[in-house]
Chains A and B, each alone.
Chain A
Amino acid sequence: MKNKENQMKLYLPSLSINESVARSAVAVFVAQLNPTIEEISDIKCAVSEAVTNSIVHGYKFCQGEIYIGVKYYSDRTVVIEIKDKGCGIEDVKLAMTPLFTTDTTGERSGMGFAVMQTFMDNLEVYSKKDKGVRIVMEKKLK
């Protein structure tokens, strides 16, 4: 990835209104690299999914803080880290299965991780029950 060129750190309370704040802020930061419309759209969507997961699942029972870190490197790799201190995921592999959701309202599609995986080049999810979730995703821009 060569040298780190720039970075942004953002902390937001887990309010659903901040889903658009998070993805827009990341989009503005990444815009420095002159990404294509598709690249920026992919990144916004992946960030939206991760932040929504923290709000809907991680902080289901209490409000908390979400960390959003973005870095880019001289080879145009963008690395996005999203962390919460919520209830965590017991079985990460199961949670990442397309269409799997713990939601019972029938309004969540279970496609959040699938979107992150498809729209980014690399996705890593670290979590333990009651220990929050840390997501690191990468995308190399053209």
Chain B
Amino acid sequence: MNTESLVVSCENGILKARVLGDIDHHCAKPIREKIDDYIFKYKPDLVLLDLSLVEFMDSSGLGLILGRFNTANEIGADFKIYSPSRGVRKILELAGIERLIKIEGELRG
């Protein structure tokens, strides 16, 4: 597991998962496994997927997001996405993710 691809913290019922670097098919697997482990371990009220440091994401990221949204739902937790880049937002919009998942944070280039 590449520990540098993800930083996770849990405080006051909020599990913050900050992804570092690109999200593609190659690196999605360790990221999703680690986030799921933390969700089941901490049973948070809210899972916040922080994408503020992700410069590139392809449709593998959509699978990753929807999968974690489902994991959060399983334990009754809310799920939000934080601060996606303009490029990442474009692909989220194409898939209609914002109809399902709340996106927070300022629009950034």
Contact = CB atoms under 8 A, between A and B. Distances in A.
Question: Are A and B genuine complex partners?
Answer: yes
Interface of A: 16-17, 19-20, 23, 37-38, 41-42, 44-45, 48-49, 52, 55-56, 106-109, 111-112, 114-115, 118-119
Categorize the interface residue count of chain B: 20 to 34
Interface in B69-108: 70, 86-87, 90-91, 94-95
A115 B94 contact: yes
Interface stretch (B9-17, B40-48, B54-62): B54-62
Contact of B63 (A19, A38, A107): A107
Contacts of A38: 86-87, 90
B25 A45 contact: no
A64 to B, nearest CB: 16
Contacts of A112: 58-59
A56 B25 CA distance: 9
Nearest to B22: A20
A37 B87 CA distance: 9
B6 interface: no
A19 B24 contact: yes
Contacts of B66: 109
B34 interface: no
Q: Chain A binding site: helix, strand, loop or mixed by DSSP?
A: helix
A49 B56 contact: no
B56 A52 contact: no
A109 B62 contact: yes
A115 B24 contact: no
A125 B22 CA distance: 26
Given A37-B109, A45-B87, 10 more contacts: A19-B25, A38-B86, A41-B90, A48-B24, A108-B59, A109-B62, A111-B62, A111-B91, A115-B59, A115-B91
Contacts of A115: 58-59, 91, 94
Contact of A109 (B26, B63, B70, B87): B63
Nearest to B58: A48
A94 B109 CA distance: 35
Contacts of A42: 87, 90
A111 B95 contact: yes
Nearest first, the 8 closest Cβ-Cβ pairs linking A and B are A16-B26, A109-B62, A41-B87, A111-B59, A48-B58, A109-B63, A107-B63, A52-B25
B87 A108 contact: no
